[in-house]
Amino acid sequence: MTDQIQTISYRDDVIVSTERNKVLRNTYWLLALTMIPTVLGAWMGVATGVGRYLSGGLGLIVFLAGTFGFIYAIQKTKDSAKGVVVLLGFTFFMGLMLSRMIGMVLGFSNGTSLVMTAFGGTAGVFFLMASLATFIKRDISGMSKWLFVGAIVLMVGSIVNIFVGSTVGMMVISMMAIGIFSAYMLYDIKQIIDGGETNYISATLALYLDLVNVFQSLLALLGIMGGERE
């Protein structure tokens, strides 16, 4: 009887582990796919110059309305194939929103190098956090409330700095964002591994937002500190 219980328990553990690995694998594949519309959106934004009109208060309104609208739509459709389409539409939108900063950085003589460095740095942060999430065995779900508070403080600071226009403020906000969203990346990956997140579309959305924020913050820092005028 004991052997039968152990066998059933082992089989259940295998099934659970297989399901979690499937969610993680699908999340990584979809996350890789989101890079395509993001790059297309950024390229279109830079090529057409639409990013120049997405500054100040107008840019903030468009960004907030578009972001929260897409996130709401993704959550409503995450259990069907429509969720993937809406998510990819969101990543195209985010590419457009990133185009203003990318265009500004590309205006430097070493702009292309800075963009590639930011991309490489973001990839490095992702692989580091993914590795840590695999090796950390203890529960880190308690991080969520502190990360949420940090994200709110960061959002308020970013909105204020849009109107203040402080370079030092931008640097501080960027460094805080890199730290907070790197920690969020670790938390979100660990949630998948531990079974706290079972929907790969929601998981992809969370990780995508983490990556975008780290990339954007790295790019801002590199542009401020390492941009070279021609």
Check: CB of residue 138 under 8 Å from CB of residue 197.
Answer: no
For residues 228 and 109, give the distance between their C-alpha atoms in angstroms, rounded to a whole number. Answer: 6
* Domain that residue 141 falls in: 2-226
What pLDDT, on the 0 to 100 scale, is given for residue 145? 87
**What percent of the chain stands above pLDDT 90?**
51
Check: CB of residue 165 under 8 Å from CB of residue 194.
Answer: no
Q: What is the mean pLDDT of residues 67-96?
A: 94
Could you tell me how many residues make up the chain?
Answer: 230
Of 49 and 98, the structure prediction assigns the larger pLDDT to 98
Query: Which tens digit of pLDDT belongs to each residue from 92-107?
Result: 999 999 998 898 898 8
All residues at 6 or more sequence positions from 203 whose CB lies less than 8 Å from its CB, including other chains? 23, 24, 27, 188, 191, 192, 197
What pLDDT, on the 0 to 100 scale, is given for residue 8? 47
The pTM score is 0.88
Handedness of CA 173, 175, 178, 183 (dihedral sign): negative
Check: CB of residue 32 under 8 Å from CB of residue 85.
Answer: no
The domain tally of the chain equals: 1
For residues 63 and 170, give the distance between their C-alpha atoms in angstroms, rounded to a whole number. Answer: 18
Query: Which tens digit of pLDDT belongs to each residue from 8-48?
Result: 444 544 556 678 888 999 999 999 999 999 999 999 998 88
Of 5 and 19, the structure prediction assigns the larger pLDDT to 19
- 10 Å CB burial of residue 122 (0-12, 13-18, 19+) is buried
Query: Which tens digit of pLDDT belongs to each residue from 137-175?
Result: 888 888 888 999 998 998 888 878 877 777 888 889 999
Q: What is the mean pLDDT of residues 38-67?
A: 82
Residue 110 has pLDDT above 70, yes or no: yes
Residue 122 has pLDDT above 90, yes or no: yes
User: Residue 146: how many CB atoms within 10 A of its CB?
Assistant: 12
Helix (H, G, I), strand (E, B) or coil at 104: helix
**pLDDT averaged over every residue in the chain:** 86
